[in-house]
Structure 1
């Protein structure tokens, strides 16, 4: 039986090293939050609120 894979929250937040500072984490979150925020999508572009929520949850966890 395989062991469940562990999530790498740092990698999910843009490939940050585990030694990233709070400022680095916030900057990475801000960049991804702007990219995935539903209000920032162009008209006709699909809105993926789940991705925005995932990025926000990563920031909260870290």
Structure 2
């Protein structure tokens, strides 16, 4: 398995959060609700990858327009 570049994963989560139009507060609320952590920096490697996968699975809010 290829090693994971976590700065790249963080950057990808930034892109997905922007795509979804989430505010900082919305992102924080999701992290607290699902991981009981207030920041991506506090997530484990597995949690960070899970968060990215979740974001990528969400439909584009502008796709219907």
Structure 1 or 2, whichever has the larger Rg, is 1
> Higher helix proportion, which one?
2
TM-score (normalised: structure 2): 0.32
TM-score (normalised: structure 1): 0.33
Larger RCO, structures 1/2 (Cα 8 Å, 6+ apart) = 2
